[in-house]
Chains A and B, each alone.
Chain A
Amino acid sequence: MERKSILNLIVICMFAVLVCGILNLSLLQGVKFRRLSDSNCIRLISQSGSRGNILDRNGKVIVDNKISYDVMILPQDLNHLDQILGLIGRIIGIEVKELKANFKKNFISSSVPVTVATNIKLSDAILLGERKIEQPSIIVTPKPLRHYPYGALASHVIGYVNEIDRWRLTKLEDYGYKTKDIVGFGGVEEKYDYYLRQEEGGLSVEVNHRGKFMRVLGFAPPRNGKDVMLTLDLGIQKIVEENLDGRKGSVVLLDPFSGEILAMANYPNFNPAVFVSKRAKQIAGLFNDPDAPLINRAISSSYPPASMFKVVLASVGLELKKINQTTTFVCQGSTMVGARKFSCWDTHGPEDIFRAIAHSCDVFFYKTGLLSGAQNIHDYALKLGLGHTLGFDLSGETAGFIPSPLWRKLNKFQNWYDGDTANLSIGQGDCLMTPLQAANLLAVFANRGYLLTPYIVKSVGGLDLSAKKRRITAVPFKKSTFETINRGLARVVSDSQGTGNALASLPVKVAGKTGTAQVSRGATHAWFVGFFPADKPKYVICVFLENGGPGHAACIVAKQIIEAMNTQGLI
């Protein structure tokens, strides 16, 4: 071959190589390079909307948001990192070392803005914003943060917000939840998170090779979460929390006709704000505290009801006609059940049902219980909303427990003895109920015959849910049963020997029942459940003090609450 044709061939080959190179880059690897090109110049700066507010029944704010400012930097221009961080540090008064640590911690990739400082002051945010021209890679974004104007108020009802954990993420990924999302934990925040949560919007901007802003490509406005209105009454809730403060226990107030929770307070409680400010030490303290301040005792813990359970016994006896208004048992301080002596807390002498309820006479109810039978007591208790969950609209509700002979046989392989019936009759033994169940039980007597489904969320995003939530089942008891028991409950307070006599001095007539639960360790639990005004009930109250001493202690708390409500004109 001639030299010139070989040269021609070489030249053709060279151009063929060029064409192949172009095809390889643009067609075979085109998608990859396209993505690289976009990530080169497109930055997403997210703007979050604000999480929905939580309101009380009158629309007063319990939890809202306040705007905080975050400082982010576009990590493109790493040569000036020290200089930029130095500038930020000087303005917001944080050491460069800390900023650098944050930068390292939050760095994802060079195309994602990195947050170096959160929650800075407004004045600092403005100062930094002014440096935008000389340092275009600094971004100050407003971020709404949860704000709790009343601190720990209703903390268990509300719950708290925090970064999503792995368990929730795997469960909720399909609903559009992402890592590092802020989601609700506990209470309304968790249960209604889907409605409360905001939709993230943001800017997509084009930047040049130095990360300098060039133009806005698109904007999706962030959407705020929906407001959730609770049935809580802020005024009552405040009174309740003030009076419970410092005593371990819980208070529930509900409307005996609708089942709306007007107040629900527990102590120890927590300030959800610590999760917002991310104070690691305090958060760890909350989780490690043996008193479990994060637990909503009103629905998640169950306790022996003790004398309070006598209301159930009275209903069983009256309904099964084992006793009537004139039945009298003589209390001699104790009674023999089988070979064992069961004692009363006092010697009451002859007691009819009214006096027995008022004095909380154990002997009367031992005998009523033995006449009625354990299975009947169990069945009636279940009819009154005990021993199973109530369908309350916050999660974490516990069922409580009412023992029965059958259960004992099946689970413990033991026989049921009359002694067990006697124990159950005064609400001891295996019997357990939550403060919410106790309040709900009394509501049946306050409204004379309707078992309620208590609920706490009134409306979501302006949509009234009450009609859906109000599930009321009739309790088919005789009218006289309710009248008899209600008279007894009124005498608990009005009778000078009544266990709730402390409440007699109130200008409002209160009816209710106390309870003093024996516990294996420590002081007794104190119960008071009641409704007021006694003749025309508007509220059912349950005060429970864990290891709070005798029922009298609970009466005092209830008295203070009702007194404050009265002076503030809330009754």
Chain B
Amino acid sequence: MIRNSFFKILILALIIASLGVLSIYSSTFQKEGMQWQDIYKRQILWLIIGLACFFLMAKSNYRKLWDANYLIYAIALFFLLLVFGLGVIRLGAQRWLKFAWFNFQPSEFAKLAIIIFLARYFSRKSIDDTSLLSGKFGIFQGIILPLIFVAVPMVLIIEQPDLGSGLMLMLVFVGLLYLTHVQIKYIVILFLSLILPLPFFWHFLHDYQKQRLLVFLNPNIDPLGAGYTVIQSRIAIGSGGLFGKGWLRGSQSQLYFLPESHTDFIFATFSEQWGVVGSVLLVVIYYLIIRQGFVIAQRTQDSFGKLLAYGISLLLTLQVFINIAMNMGLAPVVGLPLPLMSYGGSSVLVTFISLGILVNIDRTRNVF
């Protein structure tokens, strides 16, 4: 009963997660204070919880998500709104909700919720001939209506402010649209209408966001401020060499030169210690796991399952790509974690839940 893709995904995810724990340990073991010393244990705890969710999701039929779709969307919106009122401000952004002993980041869950919502929206069938409705969608139903549903949580996320997650959601939206039967001209119209007013959005950006974009174009304009992280992260990756400096020997990450070395910039931490060999291997593992997602999507007949699998794979792809690219200075610095590697309970949980859904889609497809 347990299928091939289940093991493949589980083993690949566990490899990445273990490397993540090693990197988190290496970047924090020299820091003073109990909360730093224990951080890798917390990550292990999150991984265990994440695995439990993975198994749970792998067992329970994903079609239940079809039914729970509006509820999930509503809960996600509710938490995002809650962040406004009660959010914990950390690193200048209000992204977290404080629970008993952990901080919860609703935007991570919102990403998944929106994907579920979109997958359902575009896989509704016509009552008459059970063909997909999305092929007949006009511009309002095909673009504008789903855009509104995406835009509400997205604006909330961007306002936190979390520009990275917000823009990524938009990319996932465009990607999913592309995979549905919505006519290509509508997608082009949407894309253009997103790109063209970008210069006007410039004025709505926070100063630090403008700064980050400018710094992305040239990190050396502000080497001690906004550009500092990118410069240090590039130094960390570049100084690793072929085989790296060795575990626990990364001077960049362990001597605090690299900020956020255990969260957003964990790839640089890893790369410094394991070198080209390690980082290329890691990228390949990420590719394999994502490849599994796309393969599952392609062989699934159920259009909801198919779109859901595509959406989850796209989400993972974009997160991995943007995070690693920003580590190397190829993308502007945005607050995006590297799935499975970065420290952070919400991200670990959501990623494992997503993978669980993927496995379940693959398992259930033959039932039909």
Chain A residues within 8 Å of B, Cβ to Cβ: 3-4, 7-8, 11-12, 14-15, 17-19, 21-23, 25-27, 29-30, 32-34, 36-38, 40-41, 78, 206-210, 214
Query: A4-B179, A208-B255 in contact; A11/B290 too (CB < 8 A)?
Result: yes
Q: Per-position contact with A for B210-246: 1 when CB-CB < 8 Å, else 0?
A: 0000000000000010000000101111111110000
Chain B 308-349 interface residues, beta-carbon cutoff 8 Å to A = 310, 317, 321, 324-325, 328, 330
The stretch that binds A, out of B160-168, B190-198, B272-280, is B272-280
B55 is an interface residue with CB less than 8 A from chain A: no
Across the interface, name the chain B residue whose C-beta is closest to A12: B287
Please, which residues of chain B bring their CB within 8 A of the CB of A27? 241-242, 276
Distance in Å: Cβ of A217 to nearest Cβ of chain B: 10
Query: A22-B280, A41-B255, A206-B251 in contact; A33/B325 too (CB < 8 A)?
Result: no
Complex CA distance for A183 and B252, rounded to whole angstroms = 39
Please, which residues of chain A bring their CB within 8 A of the CB of B271? 22, 26
B298 is an interface residue with CB less than 8 A from chain A: yes
Contact of A33 among B239, B255, B280, B321 (CB under 8 A): B239
Chain B 240-260 interface residues, beta-carbon cutoff 8 Å to A = 240-242, 251-252, 255-257
Residue contact B286 to A15, C-beta cutoff 8 Å = yes
Residue contact A21 to B328, C-beta cutoff 8 Å = yes
Please, which residues of chain B bring their CB within 8 A of the CB of A36? 235, 238-239
Residue contact A7 to B178, C-beta cutoff 8 Å = yes
Contact of A22 among B178, B237, B256, B290 (CB under 8 A): B237
Residue contact A18 to B283, C-beta cutoff 8 Å = yes
Complex CA distance for A23 and B238, rounded to whole angstroms = 9
Residue contact B325 to A26, C-beta cutoff 8 Å = no
Residue contact A206 to B255, C-beta cutoff 8 Å = yes
A sample of 17 more A-B contacts (CB under 8 A), given A23-B280, A206-B255, A214-B255, is: A12-B287, A17-B321, A18-B283, A21-B324, A21-B330, A25-B234, A26-B237, A26-B279, A27-B241, A29-B238, A32-B238, A33-B238, A37-B238, A37-B251, A38-B251, A40-B251, A41-B257
Interface centre among B239, B290, B298 (most CB of A within 10 A): B239
Distance in Å: Cβ of B185 to nearest Cβ of chain A: 14
B117 is an interface residue with CB less than 8 A from chain A: no
Please, which residues of chain A bring their CB within 8 A of the CB of B257? 40-41, 208-209
Interface centre among B224, B237, B271, B275 (most CB of A within 10 A): B237
Contact of A26 among B175, B240, B251 (CB under 8 A): B240
Residue contact B235 to A33, C-beta cutoff 8 Å = yes
B25 is an interface residue with CB less than 8 A from chain A: no
Complex CA distance for A439 and B232, rounded to whole angstroms = 71
B265 is an interface residue with CB less than 8 A from chain A: no
Please, which residues of chain B bring their CB within 8 A of the CB of A33? 234-235, 237-239
Across the interface, name the chain B residue whose C-beta is closest to A79: B224
Query: A25-B234, A27-B276, A210-B256 in contact; A18/B325 too (CB < 8 A)?
Result: yes
Distance in Å: Cβ of B323 to nearest Cβ of chain A: 10
Complex CA distance for A37 and B283, rounded to whole angstroms = 23
Please, which residues of chain A bring their CB within 8 A of the CB of B79? none
Distance in Å: Cβ of A416 to nearest Cβ of chain B: 78
Q: Tell me the total A-B contact number using a CB cutoff of 8 A.
A: 110
Complex CA distance for A29 and B240, rounded to whole angstroms = 11
B294 is an interface residue with CB less than 8 A from chain A: yes
Distance in Å: Cβ of B259 to nearest Cβ of chain A: 8
Across the interface, name the chain A residue whose C-beta is closest to B245: A37
Please, which residues of chain A bring their CB within 8 A of the CB of B279? 22, 26
Residue contact B275 to A26, C-beta cutoff 8 Å = yes
Chain B residues within 8 Å of A, Cβ to Cβ: 175, 178-179, 224, 232, 234-242, 251-252, 255-257, 271-272, 275-276, 279-280, 283, 286-287, 290, 294, 297-298, 310, 317, 321, 324-325, 328, 330
Complex CA distance for A547 and B275, rounded to whole angstroms = 79
Query: A11-B290, A25-B328 in contact; A30/B179 too (CB < 8 A)?
Result: no
Complex CA distance for A32 and B279, rounded to whole angstroms = 19
Closest 9 CB pairs of A and B: A33-B238, A37-B239, A208-B255, A25-B238, A21-B328, A209-B256, A41-B251, A33-B239, A34-B239
Complex CA distance for A15 and B324, rounded to whole angstroms = 10
Residue contact A26 to B283, C-beta cutoff 8 Å = no
Distance in Å: Cβ of B328 to nearest Cβ of chain A: 4
Across the interface, name the chain B residue whose C-beta is closest to A214: B255
Distance in Å: Cβ of B243 to nearest Cβ of chain A: 10
Contact of A17 among B234, B238, B275, B330 (CB under 8 A): B330
Residue contact B241 to A22, C-beta cutoff 8 Å = no
Residue contact B178 to A3, C-beta cutoff 8 Å = yes
Residue contact B239 to A30, C-beta cutoff 8 Å = yes
Query: A21-B328, A41-B251 in contact; A7/B179 too (CB < 8 A)?
Result: yes
Interface centre among A8, A206, A209 (most CB of B within 10 A): A209
Please, which residues of chain A bring their CB within 8 A of the CB of B238? 25-26, 29-30, 32-34, 36-37
Distance in Å: Cβ of B309 to nearest Cβ of chain A: 11
Complex CA distance for A15 and B290, rounded to whole angstroms = 11
Residue contact B317 to A11, C-beta cutoff 8 Å = yes
Distance in Å: Cβ of A137 to nearest Cβ of chain B: 14
Complex CA distance for A206 and B255, rounded to whole angstroms = 9
Distance in Å: Cβ of B214 to nearest Cβ of chain A: 21
Complex CA distance for A200 and B159, rounded to whole angstroms = 58
Residue contact A17 to B325, C-beta cutoff 8 Å = yes
Contact of B294 among A8, A23, A34, A208 (CB under 8 A): A8
Please, which residues of chain A bring their CB within 8 A of the CB of B241? 26-27, 30, 34
Across the interface, name the chain B residue whose C-beta is closest to A5: B298
Query: A41-B257, A214-B255 in contact; A22/B283 too (CB < 8 A)?
Result: yes
Distance in Å: Cβ of B80 to nearest Cβ of chain A: 28
Please, which residues of chain B bring their CB within 8 A of the CB of A17? 321, 325, 330
Residue contact B255 to A22, C-beta cutoff 8 Å = no
Interface centre among A4, A21, A27, A206 (most CB of B within 10 A): A21
Name 16 interchain pairs, CB-CB below 8 A, sorted by A. A4-B179, A17-B321, A18-B324, A18-B325, A18-B328, A19-B283, A22-B276, A26-B237, A26-B271, A30-B242, A34-B238, A36-B235, A36-B239, A37-B251, A41-B255, A210-B256
Query: A26-B237, A33-B235 in contact; A19/B298 too (CB < 8 A)?
Result: no
Complex CA distance for A454 and B234, rounded to whole angstroms = 66
Across the interface, name the chain A residue whose C-beta is closest to B276: A26
Residue contact A23 to B276, C-beta cutoff 8 Å = yes
Complex CA distance for A369 and B9, rounded to whole angstroms = 116
Across the interface, name the chain A residue whose C-beta is closest to B328: A21
Distance in Å: Cβ of A81 to nearest Cβ of chain B: 13
Complex CA distance for A53 and B238, rounded to whole angstroms = 49
Please, which residues of chain B bring their CB within 8 A of the CB of A11? 290, 294, 317
Distance in Å: Cβ of B296 to nearest Cβ of chain A: 12
Please, which residues of chain B bring their CB within 8 A of the CB of A4? 179, 294, 297-298
Distance in Å: Cβ of A27 to nearest Cβ of chain B: 6
Complex CA distance for A23 and B256, rounded to whole angstroms = 24
Across the interface, name the chain A residue whose C-beta is closest to B252: A37
Please, which residues of chain A bring their CB within 8 A of the CB of B325? 17-18, 21
Please, which residues of chain A bring their CB within 8 A of the CB of B330? 17, 21
Complex CA distance for A40 and B287, rounded to whole angstroms = 33
Please, which residues of chain B bring their CB within 8 A of the CB of A25? 234, 237-238, 328
Complex CA distance for A2 and B297, rounded to whole angstroms = 14
Please, which residues of chain A bring their CB within 8 A of the CB of B298? 4
Complex CA distance for A210 and B259, rounded to whole angstroms = 12
Contact of B255 among A12, A78, A207 (CB under 8 A): A207
Complex CA distance for A206 and B234, rounded to whole angstroms = 20
Complex CA distance for A235 and B241, rounded to whole angstroms = 66
Across the interface, name the chain A residue whose C-beta is closest to B233: A25
Contact of B287 among A15, A22, A38 (CB under 8 A): A15
Residue contact A37 to B242, C-beta cutoff 8 Å = no
Please, which residues of chain B bring their CB within 8 A of the CB of A30? 238-242
Complex CA distance for A556 and B175, rounded to whole angstroms = 110
